[in-house]
Amino acid sequence: MGREIKFSLVFRDMWQSSGKYVPTVEQLLEVAPAIVDMGCFARVETNGGGFEQISLLFGENPNKSVREWTQPFNDAGIQTHMLERGLNGIRMTPVPADVRRLMFQVKKKQGTDIARSFDGLNDLRNLENSVKFAKEAGMISQAALCLTVSPVHTVEYYTAMVDQLIEMGADEICIKDMAGIGRPATIGKIVKKIKERHPDVPVQYHGHSGPGFQMASILEAAYAGAEYFDVAMEPLSWGTGHADVLAVQAMLKDAGFKVPEINIKAYMKVRSLLQKFIDEFLGYYINPRNRVMNSLLIGPGLPGGMMGSLMADLEDNLSSLNRWKRKRDQPELTQDDLLVMLFEEVTHIWPMVGYPPLVTPFSQYVKNLALMNVLQLEKGRERWSMIADNIWDMMLGKSGKLPGELAPELVELAKEQGREFYTGVPQDLYPDALDDFRLEMKKNNWELGEDDEELFELAMHPEQYRAYKSGDAKREFEKDLANKKAEDELSLTAASTGVAIHQPRTIVVNVGNEEYTVNISYPDSESTPQVAPSTPSPQASEIAVNEGQVKTLLSPLEGKFYFTKDSSETPIKVGDIVQEGTIVGYIESMKTYNAIAAEESGRITEICFANGDSVDEDDVLIKLV
């Protein structure tokens, strides 16, 4: 019998590579015993990445979810692991060092054994604290190499990274092939180099099946000496996700490796439960296109972990773009048209923005920038006319050093806009903040939680945690689910009758024993329901009447309108005088914040939407005189 191979079930990632959400805590507790009974997993990925935020969006306490969900695996002797993003912790934006340190302490006490840490730019300065804090907390520090294919990212590049990570104190190395575009032979060479130089350091391979290389990559990595392999299982394997454990086990067994046996009865139990969760509601957030493999992904190199949100973004932006085109009697685009245009634009701009590995959050940044370029070009505007602040931070060095060089035209654009490049340590830009969050919790009479876990949650996800505490998150989720169920009921009725049905404007849907009256809009209708604007104050009306001609500031894109993006900013209010170019708010779209500047000077007479409201392109955001 050959060398032993062990499997890790990437339970969190296989959901998030398919759609928007992961199961609720009740669903997680239902499936955990059957996963244990499968008997083939040495490790299970239980949390990290977007897991916490998704729990908050449900209106659930993520700390309760992590503690209860990891316990069955802890009891069974199965190691649990989480994914964290270095400087960005488990969110999309940079995190103060004291919050990062608390994260590892909390996660260890909640039952998480291994911290898989990566930096989206492979900047080792951002991983130094991750390794240090994980080991301080008593966790296994697994440092990840973000694998991509470019002239910069060579075997020698990754080998040098590993040497430095081991010197920092990393216990294990993960080959993170997040887009599945790593070429099998090259992956084998990287693993072989690691094992030659560091034979006692465990190596875990993580890949995605979307482009079609993954099974060959697993075999090459196994031959080269990797010990652990991330796998998924039906109905969430393949597609933009990961190879199925049944196929991987059979392949490696045939190749002569010692692999664990699989309890097929338990496998079928897990499989049926996952399908039940999909049928209950999670399927409403899984695009069918994410269940198929697509070798077009080789070109743009976009990762499986973001494809779930990508298709939703495409659908939303396509609808908005086609509304714009209809108003101007221009031919509309299909989703395939927009997808191909997006892939081509990603391929075009990726070298121009310095070859950042296409992994969270930089895959989203490059995709968002490409999509904004496509939308602007389709509307006859210039490329680079909409660049979110988060994306500028990446290009300016505030997130870390880019692997390649920024295109001269982007350097010039930065200078024109008065933006400064940064070459220091990124963490230095984000001062400690826990004391401020402690004060907020005290002011609101909120408990810090066991092991300060509630304090950590507020500090890591401030906006989502506040929405969770207020109940807004749960209400918004249930309303959104009611809308999706209403649309599904109408589609099923039409399909079953084979004839067009009356298109009601409202429908009553029951979700969790609560009835919701849902407004329905239709793709071919010009009358799209709008979010009700906030009621103007008497002061607003008085200003509008007394001060003459009203000027409007329109939303340049659809998303959520926020007055500020962090606590250091002062929100606008009626009566404020703003100058042309003053930032008056942000549109959060596709996980990035796009600054909205006043196009004219004036006094604000009305703010037409509440903080956090959804807006469409060309909606009036504020009025001025």
* DSSP one-letter string for 406-463: BPHHHHHHHHHTT-----S-GGGGS---HHHHHHHHHHTT----GGGHHHHHHHHSHH
SS3 per-residue string spanning 23-91: CCHHHHHHHHHHHHHHCCEEEEEEEECCHHHHHHHHCCCHHHHHHHHHHHHHHHCCEEEEEECHHHCCC
**pLDDT > 90: percent of the chain:** 61
- Between residues 610 and 437, which one has the greater pLDDT? 437
Q: pLDDT (tens digit, 9 = 90+) per residue, 159-199?
A: 999 999 999 999 999 999 998 999 999 999 999 999 999 99
Q: What is the pLDDT of residue 542?
A: 45
- Most confident range (mean pLDDT) of 286-295, 341-350, 533-542 is 341-350
pLDDT band at 388; cut points 50, 70, 90: confident
Q: pLDDT (tens digit, 9 = 90+) per residue, 552-605?
A: 898 887 788 888 877 667 888 898 998 887 889 988 876 677 888 888 889 999
- State how far the Cα of 156 lies from the Cα of 18, in Å rounded to an integer: 33
User: Is pLDDT above 60 for 512?
Assistant: no
The count of other CB atoms within 10 Å of the CB of residue 300 is 22
Give the count of alpha carbons within 13 A of 447, CB side only: 6
- State how far the Cα of 31 lies from the Cα of 572, in Å rounded to an integer: 47
Q: What is the pLDDT of residue 533?
A: 42
CB 173 within 8 Å of CB 116: no
User: Which domains can be identified in the chain, with CATH numbers?
Assistant: 6-291 (3.20.20.70), 295-428 (1.10.472), 433-470 (no CATH), 473-519 (no CATH), 538-624 (2.40.50.100)
Q: CA 321, 326, 332: angle at the middle one, nearest 5?
A: 60
Which of 463, 431, 458 lies closest to 106 in space, CA to CA?
Answer: 458
513: alpha, beta or left, given left = phi > 0 and alpha = psi -120 to 50? left
Q: pLDDT (tens digit, 9 = 90+) per residue, 355-366?
A: 999 887 888 889
- Mean pLDDT value across residues 371-399: 90
415: burial class by Cβ within 10 Å (0-12, 13-18, 19+)?
A: exposed
**pLDDT > 70: percent of the chain:** 88
- State how far the Cα of 215 lies from the Cα of 221, in Å rounded to an integer: 10
Q: What is the pLDDT of residue 23?
A: 95
Strands 602-607 and 577-578, sheet pairing = antiparallel
Beta bridge partners of 82: 47, 115
Which of 121, 193, 137, 207 lies closest to 169 in space, CA to CA?
Answer: 137
| Residue 481 CB contacts under 8 Å (≥ 6 apart), including other chains | 281, 284, 511
CB 216 within 8 Å of CB 188: no
- State how far the Cα of 88 lies from the Cα of 120, in Å rounded to an integer: 9
Query: For the ranges 8-22, 133-147, 329-343, 500-514, which has the lowest average pLDDT?
Result: 500-514
pLDDT band at 312; cut points 50, 70, 90: low
- State how far the Cα of 238 lies from the Cα of 25, in Å rounded to an integer: 25
Q: What is the pLDDT of residue 486?
A: 87
Q: pLDDT (tens digit, 9 = 90+) per residue, 496-508?
A: 655 444 444 444 5
C-alpha distances (whole Å) from 297 to each of 9, 46, 209 are 24, 27, 10
CB 36 within 8 Å of CB 232: no
Q: What is the pLDDT of residue 535?
A: 43
What average pLDDT does the chain have?
Answer: 88
pTM: 0.81
Q: What is the pLDDT of residue 619?
A: 86
Which of 211, 217, 222, 128 lies closest to 166 in space, CA to CA?
Answer: 128
User: Phi and psi (nearest 5°) for 281?
Assistant: -170, -25
Reduce the DSSP state of residue 253 to 3 states and report it: helix
| Residue 162 CB contacts under 8 Å (≥ 6 apart), including other chains | 145, 173, 193, 194, 197, 198
Which of 101, 20, 126, 592 lies closest to 361 in space, CA to CA?
Answer: 592
